[in-house]
């Protein structure tokens, strides 16, 4: 059967796109170039356009974009300008427009979901994530693939459009078990806040261990940088003394809250503390993590290559990047072949077997 798979890789995700291509060829045991070239042009006033320089006719098309990559820039009015998530999302729409309806199917692969933290509103707030998803639906998108959405329930905004929310949990845990083989006894998973509790429970189920949670008590009378400051981290759960802890969240923004939780766990007598986040944004720099690591507040931060992380962070001894390109390639390969994706959501048996093997070695 003729292969109809086509992949469009935007400039903001080139490295992951190349690895996706390589792993697809490993899975399929072939040497095929699935990537369709495109040209992204910018006018000096910041306006842009995209031209597709290969055929997309009757292709099962996957458009890959990292809306969180702040290292892509262009010159606007003679000044260097770093692209924002809004501009990256606009480029996704440009690609869809450039296909001119010739693709047989269009799937948007957006590992870091655009505006994921603005998934609900209080009062007269914007509802950006839902609006963006509905816009993609109106443009003729057939499927959306994302990872560890801040709130998967945002898919209710597009009830008739497939919304596949995958988790890098199995991939991350495989690496952690391999790298931290000596410290996977007496594990406890901790959620840094109530919002991440479902995610923490999922990790705990994978590891067959207990789970705890911190409650952020905030001063609701003060707003600092758009947020109410945290007064206290109140812990609820099993005793952490002498335990090896995994603190898990979907993303690390400034990292302040995650580090405060790590320090609280250390004060309570925790042993090794491993921080896990699908996306490491570190919007306020990495100095806080450098200082906390020197203090012994945590042992390692595990994150993925699903969104941009600066090389300076990757080079830190406390940071470990988990390559999720094979997981992504397996997803694309399975969907392109119109096969069931059920097996992609359940890796508990494999994780438990791996832990057992490590403990017995």
pLDDT at 346: 66
pLDDT at 349: 67
In a domain, 351, yes or no: no
Q: Among the ranges 81-90, 248-257, 346-355, which has the highest mean pLDDT value?
A: 81-90
* Residue 134: pLDDT band with limits 50, 70, 90: very high
pLDDT at 229: 73
* Residue 347: pLDDT band with limits 50, 70, 90: low
**Same domain, residue pair 47 and 106:** yes
pLDDT at 208: 87
Q: What is the pTM of this model?
A: 0.90
Mean pLDDT of 174-185: 89
pLDDT at 143: 97
Average pLDDT of the chain to the nearest whole number: 91
E strand intervals along 33-162: 38-42, 48-52, 60-64, 73-76, 79-82, 105-109, 143-147
In a domain, 91, yes or no: yes
| CATH code at position 212 | 3.40.50.2020
String of b and e for 16-43 (b: at least 16 CB within 10 Å)?
bbebbbebbeeebeeeeebbbebebebe
Distance CA 89, CA 264 (A): 38
In a domain, 137, yes or no: yes
**Same domain, residue pair 108 and 187:** no
Nearest to 145 by CA among 304, 5, 327: 327
pLDDT at 350 over 80: no
**Same domain, residue pair 81 and 33:** yes
Mean pLDDT of 132-156: 95
* Angle in degrees, 0-180, between the axes of helices 325-336 and 169-179, rounded to the nearest 10: 150
Mean pLDDT of 11-22: 97
Distance from the Cα of residue 231 to its chain's centroid: 28
Nearest to 168 by CA among 62, 279, 314: 279
In a domain, 342, yes or no: no
More confident residue, 128 or 257: 128
Mean pLDDT of 292-314: 96
Contact predicate 128/86, CB 8 Å: no
**Same domain, residue pair 219 and 77:** no
**Same domain, residue pair 159 and 192:** no
* Residue 1: pLDDT band with limits 50, 70, 90: very low
Number of C-alpha atoms within 13 angstroms, CB side, residue 35?
22
**Same domain, residue pair 106 and 250:** no
* Residue 317: pLDDT band with limits 50, 70, 90: very high
Sign of CA dihedral 295, 254, 148, 278: negative
**Same domain, residue pair 217 and 91:** no
pLDDT at 2: 55
Percentage of the chain lying above the pLDDT 70 cut? 97
In a domain, 271, yes or no: yes
Distance CA 328, CA 318 (A): 25
pLDDT at 105: 97
**Same domain, residue pair 183 and 314:** yes
**Same domain, residue pair 14 and 157:** yes
- Three-class DSSP category at 18: helix
The number of domains in the chain is 2
Tokens of 180: 């931290």
**Same domain, residue pair 153 and 273:** no
* Residue 232: pLDDT band with limits 50, 70, 90: confident
Mean pLDDT of 306-333: 96
In a domain, 47, yes or no: yes
Mean pLDDT of 198-212: 90
**Same domain, residue pair 149 and 185:** no
pLDDT tens column, 112-122 = 999 998 877 77
Tokens 């093997």, located at residue: 357
**Same domain, residue pair 152 and 201:** no
More confident residue, 140 or 230: 140
In a domain, 308, yes or no: yes
Enclosing domain of residue 111: 5-166+325-330
In a domain, 339, yes or no: no
């Amino acid at each position: 059967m003729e292969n109809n798979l086509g992949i469009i890789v935007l400039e903001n995700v080139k490295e992951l796109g190349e690895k996706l291509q390589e792993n697809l060829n490993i899975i399929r045991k072939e040497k095929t170039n699935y990537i369709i070239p495109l040209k992204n042009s910018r006018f000096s006033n910041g306006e842009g356009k995209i031209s597709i320089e290969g055929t997309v006719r009757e292709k099962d098309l996957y458009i890959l974009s990292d809306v969180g990559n702040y290292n892509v820039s262009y010159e606007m009015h003679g000044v260097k300008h770093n692209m924002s998530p809004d501009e990256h999302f606009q480029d996704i729409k440009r690609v869809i427009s450039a296909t001119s309806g010739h693709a047989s199917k269009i799937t948007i692969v957006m590992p870091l979901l655009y505006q994921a933290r603005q998934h609900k509103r209080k009062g007269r707030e914007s509802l950006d994530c839902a609006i963006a998803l509905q816009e993609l639906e109106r443009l003729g998108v057939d499927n959306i693939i994302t990872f560890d959405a801040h709130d998967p329930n945002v898919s209710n905004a597009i009830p008739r459009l497939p919304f596949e929310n995958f988790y890098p949990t199995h991939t991350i845990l495989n690496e952690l078990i391999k790298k931290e083989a000596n410290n996977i006894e007496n594990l406890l998973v901790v959620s840094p806040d109530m919002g991440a509790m479902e995610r923490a429970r999922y990790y705990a189920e994978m590891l067959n261990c207990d789970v705890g949670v911190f409650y952020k008590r905030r001063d609701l009378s003060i707003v600092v940088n758009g947020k109410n400051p945290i007064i206290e981290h109140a812990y609820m759960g099993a005793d952490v003394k002498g335990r090896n802890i995994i603190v898990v969240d979907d993303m690390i923004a400034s990292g302040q809250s995650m580090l405060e939780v790590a320090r609280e766990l250390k004060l309570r007598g925790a042993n090794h503390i491993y921080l896990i986040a699908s996306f490491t944004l570190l919007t306020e720099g990495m100095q806080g993590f450098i200082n906390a690591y020197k203090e012994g507040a945590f042992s390692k931060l595990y994150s993925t290559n699903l969104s941009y992380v600066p090389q300076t962070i990757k080079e830190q001894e406390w940071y470990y990047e988990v390559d999720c390109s094979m997981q992504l390639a397996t997803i694309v390969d399975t969907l392109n072949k119109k096969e069931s994706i059920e097996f992609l959501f359940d890796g508990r048996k494999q994780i438990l077997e791996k832990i057992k093997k490590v403990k017995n070695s």
